[in-house]
Structure 1
């Protein structure tokens, strides 16, 4: 930090937000993780914003932003655009403050998130198929009606509200040496960095982005926000194609490093949180844990990993868990050829039984132009016990004379 320009959000702003949020946002728990600590070789603590009201940290910034509106602005109502977490945060914050809220959500938004946003008191309008189209509709609505547009991350009040997570981290884990936090537009990471660096400048702040939506690395290289041509990741909570101007300036000044994680690492992190910490976390919320799994030797402890949200659609959760189990070697899918004769399938299943592989699904194709007259193709989906077991299953099948195609 060279101090050449004043920061748009200060520690005093975050402290003011903290007072404002008393009795509104929960002081979420911090849980130690023995499993992650053993993997990383240093104490790891999980800051559980997935247990926050509305299921994510977003209520913090939304409430502070709406609280700061003038009476005539409150009378005009507020409008927001979001696929889920920000929508719910704005809806609840507005309801608590007696302000009418309209939230635009994309047509494909998960039904539980749409229902929750309505339950928190917002008028929900389904518009567009991607968040960019939804944002455009929300801005048009603001211009037409005078409603105040509540940006999900690109406003100092929102960042100050999210920064209260940083104050809680220092209170709950005063010995912390590294804070790892996911980055989408950058509001949470910027706010946490403001609070932590002001009070403990030696603490290292590491931001995490999904590799398929990593706008910050090229933007930091360019020295300005750079928009990606396309974004694609299961972590919809951090699927943002361009950094916000306000958080970008803070992150460039205060955040020590920004790393990326793959889809496999995200799904493995979600699975780990569910199995080992008994915490339901969405892919974006688990990005900090994914970074620890990807680089277990890269962080000085004690480490605090922020679990930023837990709003995951059950159907998506099912797919992600299967993906995570596959990435962890807990699922094995393969195709193989066998001779088409009575008892051939039973013999194959006997081989799998010997190596203790549990069949979850099987497809048996006997008529296909690709197959010889006496051939059949079998597609298997198996539950396995890890990469070594997967290799042992494939070896046993080949040793038994089967041609493994994939």
Structure 2
């Protein structure tokens, strides 16, 4: 049975959120509007006291509790933003709250939850692990479990975002781009828009590595992702909600997926306009609008993007900045092969013209050619093409590595060079939850027969750690190595034949 959208809209109108939630501004973005060729408005949910729209759903759900339920206490599972909302609402109503969070949750979010008086329990590597623990706790303790997105009172509270948008917009809204994880916000905004402004398009925006709504639509029902990219940790859920999916099937006009680099570029856009550093999930909707504009899919009228959260660890900011220029198309990273002979280096530099160099790595090799890793400031994709064309004219063999994960995450930060035993070596990229002991677990769990010949790890404050690892293979036993890696339980990718590996490692 399909959810009744008129009933949901009525619940949104009646939602009790303003005891705890602020009415946030709908802010015009003049520079973005000029750049994107249409009026762009930011719905500033980062200005809530808990820096996220999640306080709305938590406030409305908590206000609906009966006295007997309040006496039993509440519990929740969250990677941070919902947790803060529940903690603050519980403190306001004098209710005991126990919040289950993944061990990988940024410390700034854990501290914020504790500051509201809630108890925190860090369990598991993912939201799903924490949620299972919270449900088990609710079962044996009697505490009321408050879902972050898949129950009607939470959805109704979050839908007050849409109510404010339509009340504050000076003109009809052509489209609302909504950050999407489990679906609470996009389903509520979509339901309200469907009733009060049916011509407004609702666009769900997801990270490429955590596209749960896209997967649910392909399957016809919510399905669990086998792997979730935690870069935008605020929307990094494994499975879309059942109720939210039923609503979204009626109200979401399109889904857009965006890369982590595009998200980082949108974080920078918002900072330049507001001087606020939002978390990756907070900039997700803007990244979706920019993607639609570039692809020619965005409507011409006024567009609203939700700026949904600003709970970001300070140590993550550097990594986001690093990725932003690549995401904005303002930097290119490429490899080049030039002859080890007089005049070749000068010819290479002349081919680059007067462009600003952001990075330049070179290591002498005792053979006829030198391998370079170069970063350049550029202004557009067409300039990228011009650089590659100029290099070809100078007889320089070059590969654009701007989209290569190995190059961006590891190679540009590594020293050393090629190994003399590279012919007996396999290179793998491994991803693991960024929690205390995880790196040690990876190293100690490796079978001792695999000698490590290369290793690179760099902590950048995210929920996931990334290792580049080389192994010497006795008798070329690649199948045995991959069986050993599988037993550790972390996802891994063979990068041995990656062009960047072949050139530099």
Bin for the TM-score computed over the shorter chain: 0.7 to 0.9
* SS of structure 2 residue aligned to 1:118: helix
1:240 paired residue among 237, 245, 252: 237
- What TM-score comes out, normalization by structure 1 length? 0.86
CA deviations 1:136-163 (Å, max 9, x no partner) are: 1111121222221111001111001001
Q: Distance in 1 between matches of 2:255 and 2:142?
A: 37
Q: Does the CA-based 8 Å contact 1:261-1:291 persist in structure 2?
A: yes
* SS of structure 1 residue aligned to 2:281: coil
- Counterpart in 1 of 2:331? 331
Number of aligned residue pairs: 396
- Counterpart in 1 of 2:321? 321
Q: Distance in 2 between matches of 1:166 and 1:405?
A: 46
- Counterpart in 1 of 2:354? 355
* SS of structure 2 residue aligned to 1:284: helix
Q: Distance in 1 between matches of 2:328 and 2:199?
A: 35
Q: Does the CA-based 8 Å contact 1:204-1:256 persist in structure 2?
A: yes
Q: Distance in 1 between matches of 2:27 and 2:97?
A: 34
- Counterpart in 1 of 2:64? 68
CA deviations 1:282-331 (Å, max 9, x no partner) are: 22222221221111143241221111222222333322222221133333
Q: Distance in 2 between matches of 1:84 and 1:382?
A: 37
- Counterpart in 2 of 1:91? 87
Deviation at 1:274, TM superposition (A): 2.2
Q: Distance in 2 between matches of 1:71 and 1:219?
A: 37
Q: In the alignment, is residue 79 of structure 1 matched against residue 75 of structure 2?
A: yes
* SS of structure 2 residue aligned to 1:292: helix
Change in CA separation of 1:299 and 1:83 when aligned onto 2, cut-off 3 Å: same
Q: Distance in 1 between matches of 2:174 and 2:389?
A: 45
Change in CA separation of 1:404 and 1:197 when aligned onto 2, cut-off 3 Å: closer
1:379 paired residue among 365, 373, 388: 373
Q: Does the CA-based 8 Å contact 1:30-1:48 persist in structure 2?
A: yes
Change in CA separation of 1:256 and 1:343 when aligned onto 2, cut-off 3 Å: closer
Matched ranges for 1:278-357 at <5 A:
278-296=275-293, 297=296, 298-337=298-337, 355-357=354-356
* SS of structure 2 residue aligned to 1:379: strand
* SS of structure 2 residue aligned to 1:157: helix
Q: Does the CA-based 8 Å contact 2:6-2:195 persist in structure 1?
A: no
1:180 paired residue among 164, 177, 181: 177
Q: Does the CA-based 8 Å contact 2:207-2:257 persist in structure 1?
A: yes
Instruction: Work out which structure has the larger RCO, using CA pairs closer than 8 Å and 6 or more positions apart in sequence.
Output: 1
Q: Distance in 1 between matches of 2:3 and 2:264?
A: 40
CA deviations 1:259-280 (Å, max 9, x no partner) are: 3333333233222222345442
Q: Distance in 1 between matches of 2:104 and 2:3?
A: 42
* SS of structure 2 residue aligned to 1:207: strand
The range that moved more, 221-230 or 70-79, is 221-230
- Counterpart in 1 of 2:158? 162
- Counterpart in 2 of 1:203? 200
Q: Does the CA-based 8 Å contact 2:5-2:192 persist in structure 1?
A: no
Q: Does the CA-based 8 Å contact 2:11-2:156 persist in structure 1?
A: yes
Change in CA separation of 1:155 and 1:356 when aligned onto 2, cut-off 3 Å: same
- Counterpart in 1 of 2:430? none
* SS of structure 1 residue aligned to 2:209: helix
2:246 paired residue among 244, 249, 253: 249
1:52 paired residue among 44, 48, 67: 48
Q: Distance in 1 between matches of 2:336 and 2:174?
A: 51
CA deviations 1:332-352 (Å, max 9, x no partner) are: 33344567799998x699759
Q: Distance in 2 between matches of 1:8 and 1:341?
A: 75
Q: Does the CA-based 8 Å contact 1:77-1:101 persist in structure 2?
A: yes
Structure 1 portions without partners, runs of 5+: none
Change in CA separation of 1:240 and 1:122 when aligned onto 2, cut-off 3 Å: same
The range that moved more, 77-86 or 197-206, is 197-206
Q: Does the CA-based 8 Å contact 1:357-1:393 persist in structure 2?
A: no
- Counterpart in 2 of 1:120? 116
Q: Distance in 2 between matches of 1:230 and 1:44?
A: 33
- Counterpart in 1 of 2:443? none
Change in CA separation of 1:377 and 1:75 when aligned onto 2, cut-off 3 Å: same
Q: Distance in 1 between matches of 2:336 and 2:197?
A: 58
1:138 paired residue among 130, 134, 137: 134
- Counterpart in 2 of 1:152? 148
Task: Please provide the CA RMSD for this pair.
Answer: 3.0
Deviation at 1:7, TM superposition (A): 4.6
- What TM-score comes out, normalization by structure 2 length? 0.70
